[in-house]
Structure 1
């Protein structure tokens, strides 16, 4: 394994890092103040569009796509450090047009979408003109087991008819959200991994209703939001089904591998930013006649944070390398390992940073409370820890009797 950057990747990394630090971080605090004091926080502030125009002009756009014609043509190992830099800021992923769930939805459409679907939804998504959401989790079942899904996508003649309720549909509150990808039960008698379909649904289709936007630890994540969405006799052309009926699980598995690399590397960037804030605070504030850094076990906490971040980064890069060289089949355990390890590491680092900031760390004056909220939610998003630990254990036990 060689994690040194190719010349192309190193150039992108330098430019993305410079842009985050010189263009985004200096305006981020004011951006959040303006958004949260706005009469309507579910809006796109002009500064975001201005920054998007700059990144697109500089060729720092759609960097997540390995498709060289539509994106930067980078593999997972090459893109991972860029995702880390974007993770330092809450708005950076959208500024580079690399924010979830749009990245996963775009990858689905590139790999599985028809030409018609790509023209209608993918191209405007890649131009940054629209946003999207992914509707999979349901309030009425234990969604950690996706085979529990009760929402239906039933083929009737030349139509597909959707019924059900989804929630935690991230991005559905964004004013530019124009479509969702809906996963529903099509054939309950088929093999358990051939029962479901994925369907492209215009957000303004008849029968689609955003019932409410949910909060996470009191944060509503404006302007993206996490919505509860109902689908009542939503009738769409059969051409709205991605890759054909019954292929939902196949598509979902292909979507999750790179997506977890992106999530985890952004979290590492968030942990790095939190550690920087902790170091600044600990070396500039005094208590009991000493700098905070020299009180209690703070030096050891800082050292442990550095070790943990570096370990997490190497684990993710190793997983990215496996995805690039062996595909998802050769990296299933590792993909689950990073999904457990990185949020835990990030939470520990952020918690330490909050503690060093005292009560200020809990406020909106620093990005740490929002960072903790985001990192904690990722212990559930894309599958809870318990599901991933079970998968890792299954691989470890496979060679042994009763494994």
Structure 2
């Protein structure tokens, strides 16, 4: 394999430019439809202005870019390689003794680098902004939404609270912790560390706030030991045990976890350990973590697929069919990835297999196609 630094850098630069343009275009298109949907939902809420949907849509931009990144690499690579083929630059390079494996080194390195930056840098930013967007969505746009929203390693719960107001609600927040002194003959308990409870009226007016080092979920009630209550005058009461009625159960709390995308790459391992220590299933979070690990390899597979489906010589004809086949292959890979994730979450497939199998299959498909086209 002959490596020419000048040609490699030239092809890599064109590949990077096409990928970034495609990423910006696709992200903007998806964000526009998301914004229109948010506006439609906000139209039925007279108390919500234009700024709330705009803020939510803007906060979701990094998450959208992460989801659309593999397609951007595929479509951007197809455009970049097709332009090089149409201008006969790749034909000249091959005539000079440079094989496809030589000038593909640069684009493959760029794709891997983009994937690594997305996982290590964009993912934490995306998780923080998405968590904020979900909280705004839950507060202003959803009516009777889910019981909880998990973000930043803290569990947020919302329940009815009729003690201070017939239409009142209580919002609880804390870090999931393993229950102490569990008796196997009793129903499992759920506990929160550093718990905070906001008691609100039906009009979302603050009525009281409770701070407790630990909150235990027992039969039909939260038990907050050494809790300090702050009234409407914000003056603290002496520490005491406070009982808060609830209809929540550990099973309902577990089912109401928000999407694992609200946790970044660096936060997932620790939070998975916290969930499992608390006795909860962390399958979705494990799949998310493995999917992030596989993203650079998926980016590499997409760049090779783009090369395999777009470097056909014009004189052979069928260029449009080859490019359409490349786009179809990319979408098929996406569908297989989603289906594998569903099987993984259901427990039908091991987590590692569910996250890595589509990526490895796409990489092998791309390598086989390139070997067929280049080496016959």
Q: Structures share a fold, TM > 0.5?
A: no
Structure with the greater alpha carbon radius of gyration: 2
Q: Which structure has more helix as a fraction of its residues? A: 2
Q: Tell me the TM-score normalized by structure 1.
A: 0.22
Q: Tell me the TM-score normalized by structure 2.
A: 0.23
